[in-house]
Structure 1
Amino acid sequence: MSKPALKEVTSKADHITPHWHQNAKEIQKFGTVISDMPIGLDESARLEITGRLNVLLADTASLRDLYKKSHWHVSGPTFYQLHLLFDKHFGEQVELVDGLAERIQMLGGVSIAMAHDIAETTRLQRPPKGREEVPVIISRLLEAHKIILDDARKLAKRASDVRDDGTNDLLISDVVRTNEMQVWFISEHLVEMPLVFAR
């Protein structure tokens, strides 16, 4: 192979080399909304709703992770059913996280995303790193659901007041209904019932 041919191969290889050492300024600051969005909602309403949605998103992401921790750490006679149930609920919370984040983006905002930012924002109580007994795990999950449900209902009402029907629909149809169903499923595990003989 002649030297010019080798040079040509080298330049082609340089052409496909990834340029991965790049930095630039943020294109949109967190806590802002795009000023002119053609979706029929004014900037001040979108700014308020996205701010509140980000807090709900942080709580939902924390509950999602709490379900995965519970899935890994559960033990005892109900291990099998709770191990599977917690993982199912985790998957449903993953979908809610995605829906909330995408709604914030649709409104022209910036959705919270990274674990450290979520940890700073969430209102859910932080669990210990270690394992807990099943009744404590479930109680912790139920408390998280209560915080999210209370907030989702209030925010749905506010969204309706400012004519943000898309956010209202997401909150009622997805967030409230999913969380209510999950509360029902896990709260039944705290009811004391006889296993073999009726009382």
Structure 2
Amino acid sequence: MNVRDAKALQIASLETPTDLGSNAVRDISGALNILLADMFALYLKAKNFHWHMSGPHFRDYHLLLDEHAEQIFATTDAIAERVRKIGGTTLRSIGHIGCLQRFLDNDADYVTPLDMLAELRDDNKQLATNLRETHGLCDEHGDVASASLLENWVDQAERRTWFLFEATRRSNS
């Protein structure tokens, strides 16, 4: 067996039957993999802030960020499995996530609680925008199953944005 035949066998073993065209698989898989990288980056940022929370609202913020992180992490398997269901391949490493993620990491030694919440608020707002863009791509290719999943994740991102907005709102008193 030559190298070309061996590579063809490797690719063939990952091919999944789908009625989506090869362009659709390529485009949607690519977009979903970027979203998957974003979800992992946002999950880790939420956990980072959860672990390093301090101050008078510690308990409330600590629990809120843990809840948000769990919700974000819960999307990761569904996204990766959707990529595989349509015949694409998905992320394989932390390095791959780092190449694709659009959210900036926050490696600061200290971040104030309100700055943590504001950063996550803005990231979740951007995530909702990114999810909508991917939904549009799925609509273009007739991938109703991916679009349906994305609709739920948009709603979740908007809810997290709302909670984080309300938690960072300045009191009038």
TM-score, normalising length: structure 1: 0.77
Q: CA deviation at 1:182?
A: 0.9
Gap regions ≥5 residues in structure 2 = 1-5
Look up the SS of the partner of 2:87 in the other structure. coil
1:148 aligns with 2:127: yes
User: RCO (CA 8 Å, sep 6+): is it higher in 1 or 2?
Assistant: 2
Could you tell me how far apart the structure 1 residues matched to 2:155 and 2:92 are? 24
**Is the CA contact 1:61–1:118 (under 8 Å) kept in the aligned structure 2?**
yes
Q: Tell me, yes or no, if the aligned pair for 1:28 and 1:110 is still in contact at 8 Å.
A: no
Matches within 5 A, 1:155-170: 155-170=134-149
Equivalent-residue separation in structure 2 for 1:150 and 1:53 (angstroms): 14
User: Rg larger in 1 or in 2?
Assistant: 1
TM-score normalized by the length of structure 2: 0.88
Match of 1:191 among 159, 169, 172: 169
- Considering only aligned residues, what root-mean-square deviation do their CA atoms show, in Å? 2.1
Q: Does 1:62 align with 2:41?
A: yes
Which secondary structure does the structure 2 equivalent of 1:144 belong to? helix
Distance (whole Å) between structure 2 residues aligned to residue 148 and residue 67 of structure 1: 14
Q: Percent identity?
A: 28
Count of equivalent residues = 166
The offset of 1:70, in angstroms, is 0.9
Distance 1:154 1:72, change over 3 A: same
One-letter amino acid of the counterpart of residue 186, structure 1: L
Unaligned runs of 5+ in 1: 1-23
Residue from 138, 151, 157 that aligns with 1:179: 157
CA contact (8 A) 1:74 1:131 kept: no
Cα pair distance change 1:99/1:119, threshold 3 Å = same
Letter aligned with residue 181 of structure 1: R
